[in-house]
Structure 1
Amino acid sequence: MHVIAAAEPAATQANVNALWLLVAAALVLLMTPGVAFFYGGMVKAKSVVSMMMMSFGAIALVAVLWVLYGYGMSFGTPLIQNWLGNPFDGLIGLGKLLGIGKDGAMSPDLGALAFVGFQATFAIITVALISGAIADRAKFGAWMVFAGIWVTVVYFPVAYWVFNLGDGWAPHLLGVNDFAGGTAVHINAGAAGLALALVLGKRVGFQKGITKPHNVPLTLLGAALLWFGWFGFNAGSEAAVDGVAAIAWINTLAAPAAATIGWLIVEKIKDGKPTSIGAASGAVSGLVAITPACNILTPGWAIVLGLITGAVCALAIELKWKLGFDDSLDVVGIHLVGGVIGTLYIGIFGAGIGLIDTGSFKQLGVQAIGAFGVMIYSFVLAYAIGWVIQKTMGFRIKNEDEIAGVDTVVHGEEGYLLDERV
């Protein structure tokens, strides 16, 4: 008779948590191809390859940089301490952060490595989101240079500020609640998108209705993949299988569903017809808004947040026509505005910390500092990086190349082969 020893409960729970984190990381990685489809369907047919390549380029570049030093900058020893002491201790991932000891022997830690992989996917998608603001007119090489510099000097430090719960100033010093990246991901990407849109300037013939989505089903597929992956994005941020992860999951269902309704109502009132692109955009706006708040709202307040965000973002995307900046695929109107709404909403309706429960505006002020601090930092540096690239190697393609089609000029490919004889 064989006696089977009972597994240690704590060890078993740790393994379950690590397994969930690995699954969640795969879900979040799938979101970046989702972004590629979501954006790709909305651009011109002769720009779809270029649009999707910017997302896939982000996966390739940011993944390598994350392993080399990104995780060390985001979750290692504070950078200033590194350079005052040993500049490579805790900064270079291959030396310390991936379980490779000084003697070169592997000593992998399941939970720690699962977290490394999970956070890598956040860095990747944040960069990919920016690309929608400069659709139809950017050079791929210049985009990759920008992505590498921006993720290094903007995203990695901001991730340290926001996600490093022990040392980052946002949660540690101020008590900012950003559960899954309303500031670090969406406000960060939205502000950078606005900066690049200003640097690259307007597309040829910029006016309302300049282009129509060339492939609506592609955009809807992208939105579906984003929503699917977002359950890993939000629920996975708890890094555990528990009640907080469950409430984050429910809120990730409820808020974007309500935001879809809110967006479509505004479309119907404003334009007379609810559109499928509006439904997809509304869902994404709700996903953006619930990201920082999914752990701290009851599902009822999550629905209210979704309705508000969908309606406001449906109106906010019109600002580019009034203010004259060419944010091609509404990165500002959806990610920047939606991220700000979701982050500030916590200060009013957050359970146990918001104005409704405490009668104090303190948390609202704290959330505002986190939101606008990240926004200003990202915008200023993204503008500077983009401006230098534009003045040196050139960021924007020539007008005649834009008219001819980015795909053919930059990549030598076409998204669709319409003549079977070729």
Structure 2
Amino acid sequence: MPQASSRPTNDHGHASLAERFAATRQLTESLLEPLSEADATIQSMEDASPAKWHAAHTTWFWETFLLRDHAPGYRLHDERWPFLFNSYYEAEGERILRRNRGLLTRPTLAEVLDWRAHVDDAMQALMDDPCHADLIELGIAHEQQHIELLLTDIKHALSKNPLGPAMWDRAPAVPATQDDGWIEHPGGIAKIGHQGDGFAFDNEGPAHRVLLEPFALSRRLVTNGEWDAFIADGGYSDHRLWLSDAWAWLERCTITAPLYWRGDEQFTHAGWQPRDPDAPVSHISYYEADAFAAWAGCRLPTEFEWEAVARGQDAADTAQRFSAGAGNQLDAAAPPQPVGTGELFGDVWQFTRSGYLPYPRFQPAEGAVGEYNGKFMAGQWVLKGASCATVRGHSRASYRNFFYPQQRWQFTGLRLAKDV
């Protein structure tokens, strides 16, 4: 059973850079423990990657952007592997086609884990040099993103097995009761984007001002029960609710329910489980979220509206906000599953109606790391918050997740908004 590692702290009560590096690396490996070699190698679709590939790619990241250039005398563990485990960095040369990652029966998982140990040892020499702190922070955040992808990708792969195998041997937590009602916001000028000295991705800035009209944001996420009502009312067959591209996608792919729904069940990391009507709906696309909002007589929030409310509800201490009692995020040895905590952060990534575009004065970083976010700013939609598979502390009010409108294998859901 996967075990989420605890985060050791230094004398100031916060995890040091070296401690967070070690905890993140260990968490990746703990999630690999229940997987067979075949489980870790399978690739169920082009959007997903094998669990073994995630473990290797995150190691390639450390080797390529830290050790190769900043550790004197370091030699690549295997000169053939950058071709296998580079993801999309054009500046780093040719790479295996994404759709072929599942063909990598070699190196074995054991060989990848040996590589990880080799890189972890070599990284220790760089931990105390402040010149490398920014890149190490980026690398930790990068691996945390891949931990969530590892979980969602293996869920998709296991769901394709007729046996419905479980990664965890225990059922998800019982859903909580979400509070009804709306959070009203008067509108006005809001400052959006990352503000402060802590880590943030480049796409979270620069901070800038936006004008908001008065609006309200739902206190709770849309539930499975409400989605059942949407289906029963012919939501998937009423063209008036759907965008043109969405309707074409619906017909082409014969979509009639959220991903992983079967009768009154849904597939989880604990196998097929009864679907609780009070739990937040998840694994929906932007197209579905937008159609449901239209059916409900509401709309999706903009990313700026969501952030304006979330920033106002942030705890003064970020560490406190992401403590064990704040939101439903990955921090315990239990299968990730939305339960509805009433928090803005956690359970599911929440779709907004905002296209993923650069903020005013945005400039990507120089070099290969500049390819991390900027080149994807077209044709995708921003999601806010965090999910039950997000490493605790990874998200913040300014965080911008993004997906194409048809994608739904992630823990994606929605929170309604309306004009007031």
Q: Same fold (TM over 0.5)?
A: no
TM-score by length of 1: 0.28
Q: Identify, as 1 or 2, the structure richer in helix.
A: 1
TM-score by length of 2: 0.28
